[in-house]
Amino acid sequence: MKIDDNRLIEGFKQVVQGQQVQHPAQGKGAQEASRKGQGVAADNVNLSSKARQYQKVKKAVMEAPDIRQEKVEHIRSQIAAGTYNVRGEKVAAKIIQDSLIDTLL
């Protein structure tokens, strides 16, 4: 199924991010009914286990540091001690891989 309505997609993104979403039908009539004390049916959203797992993973990624400081310090100490060795084969393979990817894209 293809969803062409951008409002639905934006509403889904807001729900995933934990923001409150106002339903398009909740306009003037819903506001007047709530002022008069009449009940308005509320929309409920139940997230699947995959959506909840996605939220947990997203939160963990956002909280993770951009730089793995312990790895940086380890490599720095190796460079300072003169024991850090770079294998030429790995460097060459990475250069070729990046070049091929750039060519294909």
pLDDT of residue 1: 47
CA torsion 10-14-20-26 (nearest 10°) is: 10
How high is the pLDDT of residue 45? 78
Tokens of 16: 């995933």
The confidence band for 12, taking pLDDT boundaries of 50, 70 and 90, is: low
Q: Do 51 and 16 meet the contact criterion of CB atoms below 8 Å apart? A: yes
> Per the confidence metrics, is the pTM higher than 0.85?
no
54-89 per-position pLDDT tens digit: 999 999 988 888 888 999 999 999 999 999 998 999
